[in-house]
Amino acid sequence: MTVRRHKKTRMIFTHCFMVILCAIVTYPVLWWVFATFKDNSELTAPSLLPRQWILDNYVLGWNALPKFSFSHFFVNSFMVVGTIVVLAVLVCSFVAFGFARVRFPLRKMWFAILLTTLMLPSQIIIVPQYIMYNSLGWVDTYLPFIVPHLLACGNGSAFFIYMLIQFIRGIPRELDESAKMDGCTLFGIYARIIIPLTSSALISVAIFAFMWNWDDFFLQTLYLNSLTKFTVGLALKFFIDGESAAPWGQLLAMSLVSVFPGIIIFFLAQKYFVEGITTGALKG
Amino acid sequence: MRNGSLRKKTKWEWSGYIFILPWLCGFFLLTLFPMLRSLYYSFTNYNLMDSPHWAGLDNYIKIFTNDSTFRQSLTITLRFVAFAVPVKLVSALLVAMLLKKNVRGISVYRTLLYLPTLIGSSVASAILWRHIWGASGLINQFLNLFGVAGKSWISTPGTALMTLIVQGIWQFGSSMVIFLSALKQVPEDLYEASEIDGASKIRQFFAITLPMISPIIQFNLILQMIGAFQMFTQALIITKGGPVHMTFVYSLYLYETAFTRFNLGYASALAWILLMLITLITVAIFAISRRVVFYETEVEA
């Protein structure tokens, strides 16, 4: 009896703690959402809800920058990141299949190198890469974002390959063996057996690739300098630098819109996401 | 797995190279080659206009003996890493421990706590943060309720770095999710057995939980540490490296040296010092964990 009561009190304590923690952690986000509907004069007031709900911040913010509206920057971002996502899924799964299923000479050495690149800080290659892309005339184009993903060396690639290798190793080898007996080539095994069976891992690769590259501000500020080619992140930076008295309401509204795609994708595919996060980290 | 009777002779399949070819090209062209180039540049003076000319150890000597910005940015970055990473990991582990017991509504809690991570290190979250800690931001509105007069946390030298650290900790969600699944994989019978032996909860934590998830802690620690060393967007947008260079983190210094002053040789030397430092810390973590980390089974490479 006392044990059960003890358990119950502990449960209540846990819930209380979690609710308070969640409230503290999410409050800034909640405040952010409501702030975008407030008048600028109201932003400094302590209340959470707006006294008067207005949409001005969105309407004005969307067209606040000269020449281009935010639609333009969103199209740019989606174009770049969409290409990256497709490439990341295709190329990384192809490479991961090689590592996980084909016994080629020096495989262990290359795998060790792959793991090392996982930990390599990008700062070390940024200067020579910039010089290289500059001499190729790629600065202010989207090629510095796309080409690395074509060669499985983009932002996150090593992690995706590693995660997919772990995932593919979990698929019974008997499937390959029997397909091989039926005369299936290695490529056939990859395309017809492994790809369909790894779909949930591929979805998490796609989500990660989307979020990390959407957020990869360092490369964007480095390589893009004409307004036509700006991504959403760069447009926001331009917005905040633009005027001395930045219209905070509009700024917050546009910032909020810029994180929508990631949040929507997360909620649509939450199941795969948690699965993906943990496969990579746990089975190592 | 070298079992002689089962597999008489390893039959190599060279076709594997076709599959890893994209990565192999990428590794040589976009990783190894640039790394070696940057090592070479670090011994030169190079400004993109003229070709690089050899300067020997000049860059390194200058960095270590006559560069107060280097010392300051390194100190600040180390301070950021030393505060943000352990606090983030410890709180992630504690919350994961609480959620482990299949608390009802766990998925709601998990999602809410993951929200800050979702917003990520984006420009948007930096803008939000800049407003929250500003002179009339959320923090001060809250303090005003208690009659405490706030200040502009971001433009006060003593507190600017703290705002960045707090944001780092705020995003503890991804570590928490990883810890949570690691905790769920610890076999329940270990706890049951120790309970029969009369072990206390605290003893259980140190004798069972911690050893069982130590590889995951190590993994998280290394990745978070490397990530923290490279913090860039936050420092650029929230504090712009200021006030008086109090948040001028290493990657900001490197970026400015390379791409606003076009001191590419000097920047490469800075990058190599960062790499050496991160490698050193990683090796140290591995060395310590060789004694501490517990591997249940050997992992097939």
* pLDDT reported for residue A279: 62
C-alpha torsion sign, points A164, A165, A166, A172: positive
Distance CA A154, CA B228 (A): 19
Pairing of strands B44-45, B53-54: antiparallel
| B23 chain-A contacts, CB cut-off 8 A | 91, 95, 114, 151-153, 157, 161
Q: Cβ B144–A46 below 8 Å, yes or no?
A: yes
What's the pTM value of the predicted model, to 2 decimals? Answer: 0.88
Closest by CA to A266, choosing from A220, A214, A218, is A214
Of the pLDDT bands very low, low, confident and very high (cuts 50, 70, 90), residue A278 is low
* pLDDT reported for residue A3: 65
C-alpha torsion sign, points B127, A271, A155, A149: negative
Task: Work out the percent of chain A whose per-residue pLDDT is above 70.
Answer: 93
DSSP state of B299: P
H helices of chain B, in order, are: 16-26, 33-41, 58-65, 68-100, 106-119, 123-132, 138-145, 157-170, 173-184, 188-196, 201-204, 210-229, 233-234, 250-259, 264-292
* pLDDT reported for residue B299: 45
* pLDDT reported for residue A246: 65
Question: Are the C-beta atoms of residues A176 and A193 closer than 8 Å to each other?
Answer: yes
ipTM for the complex shown = 0.87
Question: Are the C-beta atoms of residues A234 and A224 closer than 8 Å to each other?
Answer: yes
Could you identify the residue written with the tokens 């810029």? A258
Q: Cβ A151–B15 below 8 Å, yes or no?
A: no
* pLDDT reported for residue B99: 85
Q: For B131-140, how does the pLDDT look when each residue is reduced to its tens digit (9 = 90+)? A: 888 888 888 8
* pLDDT reported for residue A199: 87
Whether omega for the bond prior to residue B211 falls within 30 degrees of 0, making it cis, is: no
| A237 chain-B contacts, CB cut-off 8 A | 123, 237
- Amino acid present at A12: I
pLDDT by 10s per residue, chain B, length 301: 444 444 545 678 888 999 999 999 999 999 999 999 999 999 999 988 888 999 999 999 999 999 999 999 999 999 999 999 999 999 999 999 988 876 678 888 888 898 898 887 788 989 899 888 888 888 888 888 888 887 888 888 889 999 999 999 999 988 888 898 888 888 888 888 888 888 888 888 888 888 888 888 988 899 899 999 999 998 998 888 878 888 999 999 999 999 999 999 999 999 999 999 999 999 999 898 887 766 655 444 3
* pLDDT reported for residue B9: 56
Q: Cβ B27–A119 below 8 Å, yes or no?
A: no
DSSP state of A42: G
Q: For A75-94, how does the pLDDT look when each residue is reduced to its tens digit (9 = 90+)? A: 999 999 999 999 999 999 99
Checking if the pLDDT of A284 tops 50, the result is: no
* pLDDT reported for residue A167: 87
| B233 chain-A contacts, CB cut-off 8 A | 215, 217-218
Task: Identify which of A67-71, A169-173, B172-176 has the greatest average pLDDT.
Answer: A67-71
Q: Where is pLDDT greater, at A274 or B28?
A: B28
* pLDDT reported for residue A143: 96
- Counting one residue from chain A and one from chain B, the pairs whose CB atoms sit within 8 A come to 259
Closest by CA to B233, choosing from B121, B117, B72, is B121
Question: Are the C-beta atoms of residues B179 and B220 closer than 8 Å to each other?
Answer: yes
- Among all residues of chain B, which has the CA nearest to that of A165? B301
A127 CB within 8 Å of a chain B CB = yes
A40 CB within 8 Å of a chain B CB = no
Question: Are the C-beta atoms of residues A127 and B264 closer than 8 Å to each other?
Answer: yes
DSSP state of A245: S
Listed in sequence order, the residues at least 6 apart from B276 whose beta carbon sits closer than 8 Å to its beta carbon are none
* pLDDT reported for residue A244: 56
Q: For B138-185, how does the pLDDT look when each residue is reduced to its tens digit (9 = 90+)? A: 888 888 888 888 788 888 888 999 999 999 999 998 888 889 888 888
- Among all residues of chain A, which has the CA nearest to that of B253? A123
- Give me chain A's average pLDDT, please: 88
Q: Cβ A262–B120 below 8 Å, yes or no?
A: yes
Checking if the pLDDT of A245 tops 80, the result is: no
| Six-digit token string for A158 | 């090593």
B193-229 in b/e form (b: 16+ CB < 10 A) is: eeeeeebeeeeeeeebbebbbbbbbbbbbbbbbbebb
